[in-house]
Amino acid sequence: MTSPFRFEHSYQSLGDAFFERRDPEPAKHPHVVLFNQALAENLGLPSDAVPEEEWAKYLSGSILPPGSSPIAQAYAGHQFGGFTILGDGRAILLGEHITPDGRRVDIQLKGGGISRYSRRGDGRATLRAMLREYLISETIHHLGIPSTRSLAVTTTGLPVYRERVHEGAVLTRIAASHIRVGTFEYVKHMLDDTALHKLVSYTLHRHYPDIPEGPNPGLTLLDALMERQLDLIVHWMRVGFIHGVMNTDNMSMAGETIDYGPCAFMNAYRPGTVFSSIDTHGRYAYANQPPVAQWNLAVLAGTLLTQIDPKEETAIKRAQLLLNSFPERYLSKWQRMMNAKLGLTDLRPEDRSLVDDLLSWMESRSADYTQTFLALELDGKLSEMHPEDTQLQEWLVRWSNRMEAQPGGKEVSLESMRSVNPAFIPRNHLVEQALDQAEKGDLDPLNALLGKVANPYDRSWSTIDDTIVPPGHDDKYQTFCGT
């Protein structure tokens, strides 16, 4: 049988200092729990290309697929503001698979064993956390938001010791690459300018092939990533996604959502929402995501100064000028997005207060973010959900007048709203219930949820009432990192 994998290893051309050669740790009893058929086909890796038992061995790292050349990548990062040398402590990159249509994607085994970067960690991952990453990353992808993907979750038959004994598992992660802001921090601190120059060039070629390097590749890269991160964060804000751990090592240079740990979707609209158990100061709260992205980009800029100008003072000035454009660029993209959520197809000066007033109203009533926008599609629904609310009534009149003033009428508005407002997001209580059952061996609720998140804009089956969250649930809901 011929192998469906077509591996290349361009990242390794950057030099030995960028990674450690390391084979994954073989599993004891590899068993495929979830396999993403549609993604596999899309990547040119059809499930019947390899016998089933062999898939389990490939996907768990128990045998190496032909052509792979496993490595753990070196990186550093600012975690909650503090600098640390990190690296893949529990993930092994098999290589870059070239899809039949010529795309280059990393295939990585998360939970695949220790490396020289493991520090005190065991190199392993729990089944529960890997199923969670599979579910949420696929949700983000289907919401139309750039994301790493999940090809499979495979149990290893090895125990993982956390607050209790867990079943061990490996997530087969597909990414445009695993180059992070933290990769640049590593090179800046541990290597030299030649290595940094190579990394800038490599990243531009791999992720921004359409942007000419120009006379200043350092500045070009900073600007290119800023544009992608602005779009990414605006998408997160659109659907109420809270990444939860936006450390610089968790910011992809390709602009994809990466490293799904304590992430979750916000239900009641509260800008300060934080679910992560370790984020005690709310550094990565919903509303802090834009300024944190800017902060992370400033860290990137700090690593790129020698690439921007030989004179440090000039380099800082040029980087600062670019970084200072972040808030304005963000606000403009965010306003456009919020207008689309309200079915407004053009932009007018008064829209800022129209949006702000709705958000303040939602906050004061603890209204559900997703449900509120869905209800706006149905005449009278929001008023019915909030009877005798004069503040809401006044706002609805303003919104209605604003819509009448735009070309295209209601149908065009509805079309816009249906394309940006999800009808279904994986509610926290549903996620936890599905994971509880999956850990007991019943995958039906998880598969049902996966079916729903695959069509999050589909109004045909969903009703607003489907999205009701048990009262008080989120007040004590906590998510955990790296488990």
Q: Which residues bind ligand AMP (CB under 6 A)?
A: 86-90, 117-118, 121-124, 245, 250, 259, 261, 481-482
Which two structure tokens, joined as six digits, stand for 196? 């940094």
* Collapsed DSSP state (helix, strand, coil) of residue 109: strand
- Residue whose C-alpha is closest to residue 106's, from 203, 7, 9, 177: 177
CA–CA separation, 391 and 407 (whole Å): 27
User: Would you call 210 a catalytic residue per the annotation?
Assistant: no
| DSSP state for residue 350 in the 8-state scheme | T
Closest separation between CB of residue 247 and Mg ion, Å?
7
CA–CA separation, 77 and 189 (whole Å): 11
Judged by beta carbon, residue 111 or residue 218, the one nearer ligand AMP is 111
Closest separation between CB of residue 429 and Mg ion, Å?
26
Which two structure tokens, joined as six digits, stand for 348? 């007018």
Closest separation between CB of residue 249 and ligand AMP, Å?
6
Judged by beta carbon, residue 5 or residue 186, the one nearer ligand AMP is 186
Judged by beta carbon, residue 70 or residue 456, the one nearer ligand AMP is 70
CA–CA separation, 144 and 57 (whole Å): 32
Distances 182 to 86, 303, 313 between C-alpha atoms, Å:
8, 10, 23
The binder of 481, among ligand AMP, Mg ion, none, by C-beta within 5 to 8 A per type, is: ligand AMP
Closest separation between CB of residue 179 and ligand AMP, Å?
14
Closest separation between CB of residue 23 and Mg ion, Å?
21
CA–CA separation, 20 and 72 (whole Å): 5
Sign of CA dihedral 58, 60, 64, 69: positive
Judged by beta carbon, residue 148 or residue 294, the one nearer Mg ion is 148
Alpha-helix runs per DSSP H in 245-389? 289-308, 312-324, 326-341, 351-365, 369-376, 381-385
Judged by beta carbon, residue 156 or residue 247, the one nearer Mg ion is 247
If binding is defined by CB under 5 A, does position 259 make contact with Mg ion?
yes
* Collapsed DSSP state (helix, strand, coil) of residue 141: helix
Q: Which of 115, 250, 276, 413 binds Mg ion (CB under 5 A)?
A: 250
The binder of 211, among ligand AMP, Mg ion, none, by C-beta within 5 to 8 A per type, is: none
The binder of 113, among Mg ion, ligand AMP, none, by C-beta within 5 to 8 A per type, is: none
Closest separation between CB of residue 91 and Mg ion, Å?
9
456 alpha-carbon distance from chain centroid = 16
Judged by beta carbon, residue 182 or residue 343, the one nearer ligand AMP is 182
Closest separation between CB of residue 72 and ligand AMP, Å?
8
Give Rg (Cα) of the chain: 23
Residues 6+ positions from 200 with CB-CB distance below 8 Å: 217, 218, 221, 304, 307
Judged by beta carbon, residue 252 or residue 370, the one nearer ligand AMP is 252
- Residue whose C-alpha is closest to residue 78's, from 203, 185, 190: 185
Which two structure tokens, joined as six digits, stand for 367? 């209204």
The binder of 88, among ligand AMP, Mg ion, none, by C-beta within 5 to 8 A per type, is: ligand AMP
Task: Write down the catalytic residue from 88, 101, 192, 249.
Answer: 249
CB atoms within 10 A of CB 230: 22
Judged by beta carbon, residue 187 or residue 446, the one nearer Mg ion is 187
Contact 417, 341 (CB under 8 A): yes
CB atoms within 10 A of CB 378: 12
Number of residue whose CB is nearest Mg ion: 259
Number of residues that bind Mg ion (CB under 5 A): 2
Burial of residue 34 (number of CB atoms within 10 Å: 0-12, 13-18, 19+): buried
Closest separation between CB of residue 259 and Mg ion, Å?
4
| Residues contributing to the site for Mg ion (CB under 5 A) | 250, 259
So which residues are the catalytic ones?
249
